[in-house]
């Protein structure tokens, strides 16, 4: 069975040979986040009233590269208003040191889980989604599910608008990409909901598509800028739905050794 058969909602036109960083024009279009924020302000009360309600479940939101909890504060506030115990990661600015940050995120999630006496829902924006995903890989007993928002699960920074900056600083992007693949030797066991946008001007949308052999991944497309992933009404609606969603599991079909999607809803 091919990887495409193993993963739900992988776009039919997905082609890994087209992986490349977003163009300068795509990056310039990130300015539309201003209008997304205005739309969110106008629609937030309605989104909040219509959203599925939480019951105090703990959520930790991990910010993207070069940002901190102030960038995700509106999302955290929204989730708190619909019944979850949502918090930021509390680790200051995300400076992109992945080997150092993964254990820090694990520790923060573990502390929150112990305090609340239940597993934590991890939401990560951009690089923060990759960190949340890797924390869940290491501690499936702590993470209940992961929602990634415009997160590069393929290639590290190689297919992002930051690629040239990493190269100027002397990083070997192929080496980083290989390290990402190496971690996939241990599949992620918790549900992962990967949210992506074809008009993302910072992370190539194809880099957000999980083609690895992780058994519980779903992909969800939105219309949003990369910055809008934490300030778009469409994303806020979707995140509320994904937090309430009963994840799908994959079981072998009769007479086959492969896996297939079986809905539990």
235-255 pLDDT per residue, tens: 999 999 999 998 765 443 333
State residue 251's pLDDT score.
Answer: 45
The 10s digit of each residue's pLDDT in 114-136 is 999 999 999 999 999 999 999 99
Give kind and range of the element (H or E) at residue 233: helix 233-244
The 10s digit of each residue's pLDDT in 71-97 is 999 999 999 999 999 999 999 999 999
Q: What is the pTM assigned to this prediction?
A: 0.90
Q: Provide φ and ψ at 183, rounded to 5°.
A: -65, -20
| Topology annotation, domain 22-148+163-193 | Rossmann fold (3.40.50)
The 10s digit of each residue's pLDDT in 133-160 is 999 999 999 999 999 999 999 999 999 9
Q: Looking at 169-255, which runs of residues are DSSP E strands?
A: 192-196, 217-221, 249-251
Strand 120-125 vs strand 143-149: parallel, antiparallel, or unpaired? parallel
Residue 265 has pLDDT above 50, yes or no: no
The 10s digit of each residue's pLDDT in 181-202 is 999 999 999 999 999 999 999 9
The 10s digit of each residue's pLDDT in 204-237 is 999 999 888 777 899 999 999 999 999 999 999 9
Q: Using the Cα atoms of residue 95, residue 155, residue 190 and residue 84 in order, give the sign of their dihedral.
A: positive
11, 17, 90, 116, 193 from 104: Cα distances, Å = 33, 34, 10, 19, 22
Residue 28 CA from chain centroid, whole number:
23
Report d(CA 248, CA 127) in Å as an integer.
25
State residue 249's pLDDT score.
Answer: 59
């Amino acid at each position: 069975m091919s990887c495409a058969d193993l993963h739900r909602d992988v776009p039919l036109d997905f082609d890994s040979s087209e992986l490349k960083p977003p163009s300068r024009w795509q990056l310039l279009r990130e300015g539309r986040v201003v209008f997304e924020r205005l739309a969110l302000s106008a629609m937030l009360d309605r989104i909040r009233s219509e959203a599925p309600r939480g019951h105090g479940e703990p959520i930790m939101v991990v910010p993207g590269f070069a940002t901190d909890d102030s960038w995700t504060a509106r999302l955290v506030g929204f989730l708190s208003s619909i019944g979850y115990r949502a918090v930021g990661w509390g680790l200051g600015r995300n400076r992109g040191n992945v080997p150092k940050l993964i254990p820090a995120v694990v520790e923060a999630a573990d502390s929150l889980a112990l305090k609340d006496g239940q597993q934590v829902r991890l939401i990560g924006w951009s690089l923060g989604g990759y960190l949340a995903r890797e924390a869940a890989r290491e501690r499936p007993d702590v993470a209940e599910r992961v929602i990634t928002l415009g997160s590069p699960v393929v290639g590290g920074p190689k297919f992002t608008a930051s690629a040239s900056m990493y190269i100027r600083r002397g990083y070997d992007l192929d080496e980083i990409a290989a390290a990402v693949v190496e971690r996939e030797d241990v599949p992620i066991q918790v549900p992962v909901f990967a949210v992506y946008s074809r008009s993302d001007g910072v992370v190539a949308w194809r880099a957000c598509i999980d083609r690895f052999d992780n058994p519980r991944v779903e992909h969800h497309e939105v219309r949003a800028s990369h910055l809008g992933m934490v300030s778009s009404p469409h994303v806020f609606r979707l995140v509320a739905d994904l937090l309430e969603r009963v994840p799908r599991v994959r079981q072998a079909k009769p007479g086959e050794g492969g896996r297939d999607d079986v809905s539990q809803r």
